[in-house]
Amino acid sequence: MPIGADECNEQTHNCHKNADCVDLPEGFYCNCKSGFSGDGQTCEDINECEFPTACHKDAYCNNYRGSYNCTCVSGYNGNGTVCL
């Protein structure tokens, strides 16, 4: 690519669909979006539910592509990160 080309806007980059393209004066780089991990050309979902502190101990963790949510188990109230 010639210097000054805007690979990001011209869609001539090789970033993964779950990555953001960042234009630089002499090229570009790819950065995986939040909830994904990799080199930008390959981005895999991070399973946040594998982290022991993702949710409260009295909550279920549900992993989604690029995200997750926590839900308090029956008998508890809260947002899933805090269950009372």
Pair (52, 76) in one structural domain: yes
Pair (3, 32) in one structural domain: yes
Averaged pLDDT score across all residues of the chain: 94
pLDDT at 26: 86
Q: What stretches of 1-84 adopt beta strand conformation (E)?
A: 19-24, 27-32, 36-38, 43-45, 59-64, 67-72
Tell me what the mean pLDDT of segment 67-77 comes to. Answer: 98
Length of the chain: 84
**Cβ atoms of residues 56 and 81 within 8 Å:** yes
The whole-model pTM stands at 0.79
Neighbours of 43 (CB within 10 A): 22
Question: In the structure, how many helices (H) and strands (E) does the chain have?
Answer: 1, 6
Pair (54, 25) in one structural domain: no
Confidence label for 42 from pLDDT (cuts 50, 70 and 90): very high
Range of the domain at 59: 48-83
